[in-house]
Amino acid sequence: MTYVSSEVLTVKSQGLWELVGNTPLVRLKSFEKPGVKLYAKCEMFNPGGSIKDRPALRIILDAIKSGKLTKEKKLLDATSGNTGVAYSMLAASLGYGVVMVSPANISPIKLAKMKAFGAEVILTDPLEGMDGAIDRAREIYETSPEKYFYADQYSNPANPRAHYESTGPEIWKQTKGLITHFVAGVGTSGTLQGTAAFLREKNPRLTVVEVQPESEFHGIEGLKHMASAYRPQIYREDVADMRIFVETEKAVAAAEKLMLVEGVAAGYSGGAALTAALELIEQIDEGVVVVILPDSLSNHISGGGHRR
């Protein structure tokens, strides 16, 4: 077998981490009305399967650069799953170890993915939700700070900055600057904050719509009901022009419909964002609406498939 040096290959690659971002924008014609166009930013096309690849990569690269993450330390964070998959995949690609803390009721598929990428996963009481996982991650860090880089996606400014530098510019370019309304759910709120900040700089008249679960006890994985949970340090209430609260059942139904009528398989937080986008569309006469679909339905279903 002849040895082929990377210089002779036509594809220049440093590793998988380079594939994060540059996701497609897909038109959702079935949900439009005259005068209003609707596009979905399909974040399930990231290599780790979700939008969280973007902040995870920015957080890791910044920490390596500043010396906070070294080969002797493990990356530690609390995650509802997608960030954990992203950290685990990217850390494997870059040669670092990770410890993830998640509520025990996270999607079994995300748990299996984190473990398959080599992560150590610590599970916390599902009744305590994400706040329980955050408390445990803090405890672990405070007990042995020398062993970990605590990434803290809820407070780390690299999270919104990842979206300011990638998600926002991509949407601006893909819509040729015609976007009028931006719709996204909030978990850490990094997506909404960073993307909206960039798009607003380009178009100060942009309308930003924030999507939250309707109540404290909900089944929309990845989203936070801000009034009843720890408020992420990076969250700014005044970024959104409108706030729409969505019931879990409606989010699930919208994800199911999206798959049937457009062939797009989004997770339930995407279903929630779509539900909000449709409520918005009812209220406007013209515009170009962009909705974020953070991950794929395949993260949430296994074996049995849909309810249908």
Binding-site ranges for ligand PMP (CB under 6 A): 50, 52, 80, 82, 185-191, 221-223, 267, 269, 294-295
Which residues, other chains included, contact 97 with Cβ-Cβ below 8 Å and sequence gap of 6+?
Answer: 74, 75, 91, 118, 120
Least separation in angstroms between residue 5's CB and ligand PMP is: 39
User: Closest CB to ligand PMP among 36 and 209?
Assistant: 209
CB 280 within 8 A of CB 231: no
CB 212 within 8 A of CB 226: yes
Least separation in angstroms between residue 291's CB and ligand PMP is: 12
Report how far residue 69's alpha carbon sits from residue 252's, in angstroms, rounded to the nearest whole number.
38
> Is the Cα dihedral 143, 90, 170, 224 positive or negative?
negative
Q: At 261, list the tokens.
A: 């009528």
User: Closest CB to ligand PMP among 142 and 216?
Assistant: 216
Bridging pattern class, strands 242-246 and 287-293: unpaired
Least separation in angstroms between residue 80's CB and ligand PMP is: 5
Least separation in angstroms between residue 145's CB and ligand PMP is: 25
Let me know if 52 is a catalytic residue. Answer: yes
Least separation in angstroms between residue 4's CB and ligand PMP is: 39
Altogether, the residues listed in the chain come to a count of 308
Q: Which of 50, 80, 93, 269 is catalytic?
A: 269
CB atoms within 10 A of CB 67: 8
Q: Which of 68, 131, 75, 76 is nearest to 103 (CA)?
A: 131
User: Closest CB to ligand PMP among 129 and 294?
Assistant: 294
Q: Which residue is nearest to ligand PMP (CB)?
A: 222
Paired with 292 in beta bridges are 41
Report how far residue 241's alpha carbon sits from residue 75's, in angstroms, rounded to the nearest whole number.
35
Q: Which of 52, 110, 113, 250 is catalytic?
A: 52
Q: Is 210 left (phi over 0), alpha (psi -120 to 50) or beta?
A: beta
Instruction: Kindly report the backbone phi and psi dihedral angles of residue 149, in degrees, each rounded to the nearest multiple of 5, phi listed first.
Output: -105, 110
Q: What is the DSSP letter of 230?
A: P
Q: How many CA atoms lie within 13 A of 163 on its CB side?
A: 25
Q: Is 25 helix (H, G, I), strand (E, B) or coil?
A: strand
User: Closest CB to ligand PMP among 103 and 222?
Assistant: 222
User: Closest CB to ligand PMP among 25 and 284?
Assistant: 25
Least separation in angstroms between residue 160's CB and ligand PMP is: 8
User: Closest CB to ligand PMP among 44 and 63?
Assistant: 44
Least separation in angstroms between residue 93's CB and ligand PMP is: 20
Residue that the structure tokens 């984190």 belong to: 114
Q: What is the DSSP letter of 235?
A: -
User: Closest CB to ligand PMP among 156 and 189?
Assistant: 189
The residues annotated with a catalytic role in the active site are 52, 269
